[in-house]
Structure 1
Amino acid sequence: MIDWVRVSELRSEIGADDFEEVANLFLTEVEDTLLRLDAAAGNNAEMQALMHFLKGSALNLGFSDLSILCSKGESDAAQGHVTFDPQALKDLFAQSRKAFETEYPKRYAA
């Protein structure tokens, strides 16, 4: 669900102090984007753009399962058909976020 190697890489790249700010920004932006999914239903170009953004964001912060689902959604939208369930994507994000927020403090305790 979470690629902890990627999390460690990003944390090393930007520093421990800035990592929390970046992670919080990611979580906020993803939540905002997920809220836009329902409005994008039927608009393949908009859905493709949203999925692309979500995929990239998920990859950056190590939300590996989420990035896989977003990649599939992006590909489907590019081909003119959206076959994924937006609620499943929202649920996966919620599960991934919970796993991240639970495990991160344990892995990187001061």
Structure 2
Amino acid sequence: MNSIIKLAIENKQVLELRYNEKVRLVEPHCYGTDKNGEEKLRCYQQGNRGLVYDKGAWKILSVSEIRNLTATGNNFRGPRPDYNPDDPQISRIYARL
């Protein structure tokens, strides 16, 4: 279990991470495992460095593929209006807003 992700959800902190060779800024909303036991992170992507086409998009990330994970120290307000706390893709929840 990733304590950085759990703390970021608890404290509503923006995370910076590398995923699929892109640096992303995300608001973590739900963290747990899928039906196969793989750790997943449901997050709202604020944007990526230099690429605006992914800005403002919901993502589900495989935690095993996340690199360079850090909490930015910047907070977000809370759950996005279209957030579903009962995410069907995350069957066991470790932390959620």
The structure with the greater share of residues assigned to strand is 2
Using structure 2 for the length normalisation, give the TM-score.
Answer: 0.27
- Larger fraction in helix: 1
Question: Structure 1-normalised TM-score?
Answer: 0.25
Structure of higher CA gyration radius: 1
